[in-house]
Amino acid sequence: AQSVTQLGSHVSVSEGALVLLRCNYSSSVPPYLFWYVQYPNQGLQLLLKYTSAATLVKGINGFEAEFKKSETSFHLTKPSAHMSDAAEYFCAVSESGGGADGLTFGKGTHLIIQP
Amino acid sequence: DAGITQSPRYKITETGRQVTLMCHQTWSHSYMFWYRQDLGHGLRLIYYSAAADITDKGEVPDGYVVSRSKTENFPLTLESATRSQTSVYFCATRPGATPLHFGNGTRLTVT
């Protein structure tokens, strides 16, 4: 069975500092991996996805993530945090990438940006 | 505008009452999903549907019923609401091998 572990339920960084949100996955097959962002009182929006093409994936709003098979990780980074990045971030895994596979989500990481 | 509409956005109900959460999509995506979001649990899949009249259980289906008579609608019914079903409920769709698209959620409180 697939699973996702997000390390740190809350991460606090200063504006302009590096953002690093950690995600480790477990999957019996080569996975599809996703990062979603959730702003208050809204649904989840896709930030980026890994589908076995390039291991370094670039997403929206300056975020990127690197797939490391040896470490079973898919950490999310952004070089310089902005106040508007404050939100909840979810890592998710899929073993089929589509169809009835509804994704398995991590428990989320709340990103706090300090001025 | 095309997208997913969930209604109501907020609902307060009493223990034992039946309540239905609505989900409507304008894309005609084949797959639709219901998730619940709880602090400390992330999102957990309740039910999903591959097409009209085809539904299946997810991770936490107990206490919920779904139907899908039309492609665009996927209502979720709590037949006899319990306090443990207080949560934020998200509907999502997918046309095929693409990421999920989410609605804005329904915040349900069971008193």
Report d(CA A53, CA A50) in Å as an integer. 7
Mean pLDDT, residues B2-11 taken together: 92
Which pLDDT score is estimated for A21? 98
Which pLDDT score is estimated for A12? 97
Q: Mean pLDDT across chain A, nearest whole number?
A: 91
**Other C-beta atoms within 10 Å of B111: how many?**
10
- Residues of chain B in contact with residue A108, where contact means CB-CB under 8 angstroms, are 42
Which pLDDT score is estimated for A31? 85
| Window 37-56 of A, Cβ < 8 Å to B | 41-46, 49
Which pLDDT score is estimated for B33? 94
Q: Mind listing the pLDDT tens digit for each residue in A70-110?
A: 999 999 999 999 999 999 999 998 877 665 667 889 999 99
Q: Mind listing the pLDDT tens digit for each residue in B36-82?
A: 999 888 899 999 998 999 999 999 999 999 999 999 999 999 999 99
Q: Mind listing the pLDDT tens digit for each residue in A14-40?
A: 999 999 999 999 987 888 899 999 998
Report d(CA A7, CA B40) in Å as an integer. 12
Report the residue from A97, A105, A106 with minimal CB separation from B97. Answer: A97
For A49, the token pair is 């996805």
Q: Which residue of B has its CA nearest to A1?
A: B59
Report d(CA A90, CA A37) in Å as an integer. 6
Which pLDDT score is estimated for B90? 95
Q: Mind listing the pLDDT tens digit for each residue in A40-59?
A: 888 899 999 998 778 899 99
Does the pLDDT of residue A61 top 70, yes or no? yes
- Residues of chain B in contact with residue A39, where contact means CB-CB under 8 angstroms, are none
